[in-house]
Amino acid sequence: MKILANDGISKSGVRALENAGFEVITTRVAQEQLANFINEEKITALLVRSATQVRKELIDSCPSLKLIGRGGVGLDNIDISYAKSKGLKVINTPSASSASVAELVFAHLFGGVRYLHDSNRNMPLSGDSHFKDLKKNYSAGTELRGKTLGIIGLGRIGKEVARLALGVGMKVIASDDHVGELEITLNFYNDQTVTIPIKTEPIADLIKDSDFITIHVPAQAKSILGKKEFEQMKHGVGIINTSRGGLINEEALLEGIENGKVAFAGLDVYDNEPTPAIKILMNEQISLTPHIGAATLEAQDRIGMELAEQIIAILKSEKV
């Protein structure tokens, strides 16, 4: 059986699949050529990340497909219900990249409170001629310790963010439509642990009381943070989005930065990916990354192995 990993897969995942008797193809096939390639090669399983779209038309055009795998959490680039109605298995790796995304949240947070995103733009330009001026400009940073982090969405990634926040010494407010209360366990040297209970709060309280806000929910029909929500936030709030583009109204965010309500933002996802708005890209108070939340070597290895294990269990047991 042939597997097409169209958006790539880790070497460990390839080895595991090949050892189980599968042929793994990692050639990147353009979206418009994908159906023909799948049919010509009689592909049984299609593995994607966020780039490849698996819509109704592709599913209908490829009768050899038995399984669709998404390396990551979100499944919004796959017509899941339709695929399942056609008898296809749809799998993903919801927990493999949680730690990597959570650490990127804190990369943006640490960079934002110390102006690293702006300093790294300006030091190469004028660090040799205006060093003292730059030092003065970036000498009003703040600490994360003791501040309040609001986490919208307390799923796997939200929990990892909460764990890091508590370890840094932050206070945590969380809001979630499905979670009422949970426990976060911090692990230390010599098997020491500390368990901290967290009760979720209404999102209105989170928005009002947080020094920093980070979003960890699936794609939504409309933004979660818009003009009304920004007006209710603390003055000088920091905003992080490593989840999905569209969860923050970008015009409202830019307005909040302009009027001082928002001190900085950290964005890994954008409206209109892969062509974010120029106003977002050029704003000096926004820390920017190109949708790399899950893109660590460790996460990619876990994703590849988790996909491989699921594929082997499903396809070998069903002998499709």
- pTM, to two decimals: 0.89
Task: Give the dihedral sign, CA 138/140/146/151.
Answer: negative
Q: What is the CATH number of domain 98-288?
A: 3.40.50.720
| Structural domain spans, the chain | 2-96+297-318, 98-288
Q: CB under 8 Å to 192, separation ≥6 — which residues?
A: none
Contacts of 74 (CB under 8 A, 6+ apart): 50, 92, 218, 219, 244
Query: pLDDT digit string (tens) for 297-311?
Result: 999 999 999 999 999
Alpha-carbon torsion, ordered 43, 45, 49, 53, to 10 deg: 60
pLDDT in the model for residue 317: 73
Give the pair of three-digit tokens for residue 303.
Answer: 């994703």
- Report pLDDT digits (tens) over 161-220: 999 999 999 999 999 998 889 999 999 999 999 999 999 999 999 999 999 999 999 889
> Is 273 part of the annotated catalytic residue set?
yes
Cα gap 259→236, rounded to integer Å: 10
Give yes or no for a contact between 63 and 87, defined as CB atoms under 8 angstroms apart.
Answer: no
- Quote the CA–CA distance of 278 and 272 in Å, as a whole number: 11
Q: Is 121 exposed, middle or buried (0-12, 13-18, 19+ CB in 10 A)?
A: exposed
Per annotation, catalytic residue among 41, 251, 255, 273: 273
Q: What is the percentage of the chain residues whose pLDDT exceeds 90?
A: 91
Q: Do domains 2-96+297-318 and 98-288 have the same CATH topology?
A: yes
Considering Cα of 162, then 270, then 224, then 243, what sign does the dihedral take?
Answer: negative
Categorise residue 87: left if φ over 0, alpha if ψ from -120 to 50, beta otherwise.
left
- Which position among 70, 216, 291, 302 bears the catalytic label? 291
Reply yes or no on domain 2-96+297-318 having CATH 3.40.50.720: yes
CB 215 within 8 A of CB 248: yes
Q: Give the HSE-up count for residue 162: Cα atoms under 13 Å, Cβ half-sphere.
A: 27
Residue 113 — φ and ψ, nearest 5°?
Answer: -75, -15
Whether 201 sits among the annotated catalytic residues: the reply is: no
Per-residue pLDDT reduced to its tens digit, 71-93? 988 788 999 999 999 999 999 99
d(CA 268, CA 242): 5
User: What is the DSSP annotation of 95-145?
Assistant: TTTHHHHHHHHHHHHHHHHTTHHHHHHHHHHHTTTSHHHHHHHT-----ST
In whole angstroms, what is the distance from residue 92 CA to residue 49 CA?
9
pLDDT one-digit tens code per residue, 114-168 = 999 999 999 999 999 999 999 999 999 999 999 999 999 999 999 999 999 999 9
Closest CA to 290 of 275, 301, 310: 275
37, 29 Cβ separation under 8 angstroms: yes
Distance in angstroms (rounded) separating the CA atoms of residues 144 and 141: 10
Whether 216 sits among the annotated catalytic residues: the reply is no
Q: Which of 244, 250, 302, 306 is catalytic?
A: 244
Looking up tokens 């804190």 gives 106
* Residue 234 scores a pLDDT above 50: yes
Using DSSP's 3-state secondary structure scheme, residue 246 falls into coil
